[in-house]
Amino acid sequence: MLSAVLPNGNAAAAAAAAELFADGRFNPTAIVTEPVPPPVQSDKLDSPPAANGGKADKREIVLGRNVHTTCLEVTEPDADNESTGDKEAYMASVLARYRKTLVERTKYHLGYPYNLDFDYGDLSQLQHFSINNLGDPFIESNYGVHSRQFEVGVLDWFARLWDIEKDEYWGYITNCGTEGNLHGILVGREVFPDGILYASRESHYSVFKAARMYRMECEKVNTLITGEIDCADFKMKLLPNKDKPAIINVNIGTTVKGAVDDLDLVIQTLEECGYSHNRFYIHCDGALFGLMMPFVKRAPKVSFKKPIGSVSVSGHKFVGCPMPCGVQLTRLDHINALSSNVEYLASRDATIMGSRNGHAPIFLWYTLNRKGYKGFQKEVQKCLRNAHYLKDKLRGAGISAMLNELSSTVVFERPKDEEFVRRWQLACERNMSHVVVMPSVTVEKLDCFLDELIQARSVWYEGGNSKPPCLAEDVGVSNCCCVLHK
Amino acid sequence: MLSAVLPNGNAAAAAAAAELFADGRFNPTAIVTEPVPPPVQSDKLDSPPAANGGKADKREIVLGRNVHTTCLEVTEPDADNESTGDKEAYMASVLARYRKTLVERTKYHLGYPYNLDFDYGDLSQLQHFSINNLGDPFIESNYGVHSRQFEVGVLDWFARLWDIEKDEYWGYITNCGTEGNLHGILVGREVFPDGILYASRESHYSVFKAARMYRMECEKVNTLITGEIDCADFKMKLLPNKDKPAIINVNIGTTVKGAVDDLDLVIQTLEECGYSHNRFYIHCDGALFGLMMPFVKRAPKVSFKKPIGSVSVSGHKFVGCPMPCGVQLTRLDHINALSSNVEYLASRDATIMGSRNGHAPIFLWYTLNRKGYKGFQKEVQKCLRNAHYLKDKLRGAGISAMLNELSSTVVFERPKDEEFVRRWQLACERNMSHVVVMPSVTVEKLDCFLDELIQARSVWYEGGNSKPPCLAEDVGVSNCCCVLHK
């Protein structure tokens, strides 16, 4: 009896099946005899150009080339590997060297908004399990190795932070800030299919990626020198489009300047332009500051008591987590419109991703429990204080610098030397660089950085052959210390 | 000197800034004094309905409710916690209980295509680091705590498997199979903005989600009883749309039946309908079998020597990984059209996600190095053999069952009792259930499952009051053992 199904019109597969299951029995010789694929021709790769060129001043983005210079090749185990243990030893040495690099790179890091100070040793036992919260956090899937109980606990904590009742919100733990924005904007588009997306030009690039992915009309709104959305320009962009609903991305901390858009003023502007609350959808991109603002007195409050549709925040930033993750919250009634049921999962499909990392919720649950709202408040206070310290020291040394109120992102003159930028892992744009003061950034680390920067600048700009850049256009005249403006 | 920038038109923030930085100095009292938000009104939640209702036979999907029954609440640490250690003890006990559940749930698992058998103990030291491959794998970002060297090594391994040269492919490690499909279909749409998406109706739900997200015209193609795409119907759908390019999702292993679409026949059908190679884009969804097919002799080969645009495969499925991940490969020339440069990252933006899990590539690198192509071949052989064993035993016991050639997914009669389904974590659709035979599924586990199933069926169907369901429509008359067809 040949019980394997023979498809119509597929001769090759049928032949393969006949071979695999000759006489209805599994035939192990049907497996390929030489599993190692021949190497694909690759001789063009002998001398790949380095991604960074050799140029000191400018880092080139090499499009159209795949750079394999630092690649750790995967090699086939030797036949006698089990007896010699050579490969085991090789891998152990690779990992030991890699660990050393990680320690060193973690030590000299200032530019990205990641809290690198965490200890999840208690959770290392969980790495043995394939934990997957596939589908919806609030509907159990048939897959039993999940961590929904932790995930929902974390979501509830954020729901309380952002003022929304348990049975009125829906949310999930995402893979990163981008997924939060992709989800929030998608929900907005499903609520208002012909809505126009408005976002300040200093919004995260994922916002504009979403517009392109989702084929949405998109209006870029100008910003103030702080990086905040310019509501006068917002009004100008809104008025000619009054026939279409508005979907707005509000930044609770922009990427480069750490500027906080004034949510209340955005809502007021919409109202003044004649948009009723059922004609707009606001997504708050709180990737970094979404977890800091609630602890700063009189900061524009992110709250679902206001007419907003969704909020996202990253988990690997202020909280700190081994891998990127985020929290996405929206109103439950929006989700019921968006989602479709997937019987296979015994769930509804309302997340962007299907399979979802079940470890991230446990990391977050662990830290939230240990620190609590009070612990985060203390850390916010420390970060704001240290950011102020850094800004004062920079300005004291005659270096252009800006620190937005309500922010721990210190923007300053871009260092002239790319090697210096890489050493401290600074993010740069035009003439600006920034340090994001996270809980892992101590005064000692800042002092070390300041010493090195001041030392290096004395070399870069000695003799007067070259001058520090002007940052007036980037951070305003009052924050610029260039020759002209100091 | 008040150096914090005062934005125009934002009185609240200005006032907050003035308070925070009174006299230009950081004022710690500007931090909120009571950081714990008041509980949001939640009295409606006292008696939430259980997700599974109380009903034995049918699992209800409760849309419009957030079910918090199993939630592990995050609580604020007590003021005296550090002295008493109560909270530490509580958390340790939660985690110990959770670990026990994971062990038990991992033991009784058959329904999802996850290889739960892995040991990454050597890598546990890496959990201390915030490893993030943000941006493009081939362009170093300024963030130094990354694992691109491992990621590119893994990608090269897959490039060799799928026949594409190092300087002709582009790819990245994704968060899951869905991200691979979202990326592949997006690349297809960017190559052919007015292309129509064709996918068999048994394609993964993420394919249709992509069509909706990307606002693409989408044609669902019928399937054969095996689950494979029906190329006769495909032809019928193609012919009236010849004025528009075609974007095709080809399944290398469907979700429910593990059916492998015949890639060669799909290409032949396109050619017969007059589509030249520059008028179509094929994405191969190889979530599960993308890594198994290469080792089965004469299986339709997935290869970039053929006119395909992209291939994706999951990392947490056949390879096995603590968290979901996947590999996405496409042609480099497609990516150069898609991507835009992001100065902030010193990179191009060609991935769906921005921040990316840097641990997943290391897990994959580790397993690929240890097993090699030869190790995977052996595991494929074992899985196919065990799947055949299970199917034979089921049919021998008079239970409807189907096993596609080239597949380790055994489809069989849906168990009557939902408790049984949950115990073995089976995925179900209509009258079907399935077991996906992964490397972690041993003959002993299958025997245990078979014993329980046969035992349970004798209770469900004793006395003849109720009869096993007919699966003729699902798996064909020849595989159905119902009263009518046996």
Q: Which residue of A has its CA nearest to B139?
A: A51
Chain A residues lying within 8 Å of B124, measured CB to CB = 124, 127
What tens digit of pLDDT does each residue of B204-213 get?
999 999 999 9
Q: Which residue of A has its CA nearest to B314?
A: A355
Structure tokens at A222: 């100008």
- Provide the shortest C-alpha distance from residue B464 to chain A (in Å): 27
Q: Which residue of A has its CA nearest to B15?
A: A298
Percent of chain A residues topping a pLDDT of 90: 75
Any long-range contacts for B419-422 (C-beta under 8 Å, 24+ apart)? B419/B56, B420/B452, B420/B453, B420/B456, B421/A142, B422/A142, B422/A144
Mean confidence (pLDDT) of chain B: 88
Give residues 109 to 138 of B whose Cβ lies within 8 Å of A: 109, 111-112, 114-116, 118-132, 134, 138
Cβ separation A324–B356 shorter than 8 A: yes
Give residues 360 to 399 of B whose Cβ lies within 8 Å of A: 360, 365-366, 368-377, 380-381, 384-385, 388-389, 391, 395
Query: Between B10, B30, B65, which is nearest A296 by CB?
Result: B30
Cβ separation A75–B204 shorter than 8 A: no
Q: Which residue of B has its CA nearest to A386?
A: B26
Any idea how long chain B is? 486
Cβ separation A7–B262 shorter than 8 A: yes
pLDDT of amino acid A45: 40
A150 at the B interface (CB within 8 A)? Answer: yes
Q: Dihedral, CA atoms, A285, A289, A294, A296, nearest 10 degrees?
A: -140
Cβ separation B156–A106 shorter than 8 A: no
Query: Would you write out chain A's pLDDT as a tens digit for each of its 486 residues?
Result: 334 443 444 555 555 555 555 555 666 557 787 888 888 764 444 443 434 333 334 444 555 567 776 799 999 998 776 667 888 899 999 999 999 999 999 999 999 999 999 999 999 999 999 999 998 999 888 899 999 999 999 999 999 999 999 999 999 999 999 999 999 999 999 999 999 999 999 999 999 999 999 999 999 999 999 999 999 999 999 999 999 999 999 999 999 999 999 999 999 999 999 999 999 999 999 998 999 999 988 788 999 999 999 999 999 999 999 999 999 999 998 987 677 666 665 567 899 999 999 999 999 999 999 999 999 999 999 999 999 999 999 999 999 999 998 899 999 999 999 999 999 999 999 999 999 999 999 999 999 999 999 999 999 998 878 999 999 999 999 999 999 998
Please compute Rg for chain A using Cα positions.
27
pLDDT of amino acid B9: 43
3-state secondary structure (DSSP) of residue B397: coil
- ipTM of model: 0.90
Site from B175, B402, B425 to mutate, A interface, most A CB atoms within 10 angstroms: B175
CA distance B169 to B116: 30
pTM over 0.80: yes
Cβ separation B428–A314 shorter than 8 A: no
Residues 6+ apart with CB under 8 A from A455: none
- Provide the shortest C-alpha distance from residue A464 to chain B (in Å): 27
pLDDT of amino acid B42: 47
pLDDT of amino acid A215: 95
A265 at the B interface (CB within 8 A)? Answer: yes
Closest of B467, B14, B108, B91 to residue A260, by C-alpha: B14
Q: What is the mean pLDDT of residues B419-427?
A: 95
**More confident position, B195 or A27:** B195
The 3-state secondary structure of B55-80 reads CCCCCCCCCCCCCCCCCCCCCCCCCC
Site from A40, A264, A296, A423 to mutate, B interface, most B CB atoms within 10 angstroms: A40
Please compute Rg for chain B using Cα positions.
27
Residue recorded with tokens 């698992």: B109
Contact B206, B182 (CB under 8 A): yes
Strands B409-413 and B401-403, by their bridges, are antiparallel
Site from B91, B123, B128, B404 to mutate, A interface, most A CB atoms within 10 angstroms: B128
Structure tokens at A356: 């979802």
Q: Which residues of B are catalytic?
A: 407
Chain A residues lying within 8 Å of B76, measured CB to CB = 372-374
Chain A residues lying within 8 Å of B109, measured CB to CB = 143-145
Residues 6+ apart with CB under 8 A from A264: A300, A306, B12
CA distance B36 to B58: 42
Cβ separation B405–A16 shorter than 8 A: yes
Query: Between B16, B74, B262, which is nearest A369 by CB?
Result: B74
What tens digit of pLDDT does each residue of B72-110 get?
999 999 877 666 788 889 999 999 999 999 999 999 999
Chain B residues lying within 8 Å of A75, measured CB to CB = 369, 372
- Which range among A399-403, B62-66, B120-124, B372-376 shows the weakest confidence by mean pLDDT? B62-66
Amino acid at A395: R
**More confident position, B1 or A252:** A252
- Which range among B176-180, B312-316, B334-338, B392-396 shows the weakest confidence by mean pLDDT? B334-338
Query: Between A108, A380, A403, which is nearest B4 by CB?
Result: A403
pLDDT of amino acid B141: 83
Write the DSSP symbol of residue A470: P
Cβ separation B345–A427 shorter than 8 A: yes
**More confident position, B56 or A373:** A373
Structure tokens at A381: 């206070």
Cβ separation A106–B129 shorter than 8 A: yes
What are the C-alpha distances in Å from A381 to residues A374, B88, B213?
Answer: 11, 25, 41
pLDDT of amino acid B7: 41
Cβ separation A406–B17 shorter than 8 A: yes
Give residues 204 to 263 of B whose Cβ lies within 8 Å of A: 204-206, 209, 213-215, 224-226, 228, 230-232, 255-256, 260, 262
Q: What is the DSSP string of A3-26?
A: -SBPPTT-HHHHHHHHHHTGGGS-
- Find how far residue A137's CA is from the centre of its chain: 21
Cβ separation A170–B66 shorter than 8 A: yes
H helical segments located in A66-132? 81-84, 86-107
- Find how far residue B249's CA is from the centre of its chain: 16
Q: How many CB pairs under 8 A join A and B?
A: 611
Cβ separation A10–B228 shorter than 8 A: yes
- Provide the shortest C-alpha distance from residue A249 to chain B (in Å): 17
Structure tokens at A385: 């204080």
Q: What is the mean pLDDT of residues B310-326?
A: 96
What tens digit of pLDDT does each residue of B8-52 get?
445 555 555 555 555 556 665 577 878 888 887 644 434 433 443
Chain B residues lying within 8 Å of A152, measured CB to CB = 66, 68, 70-72
CA distance B17 to B12: 9
Identify the bridge partners of residue B199 per DSSP, sorted by sequence position.
B220, B249
pLDDT of amino acid A52: 37
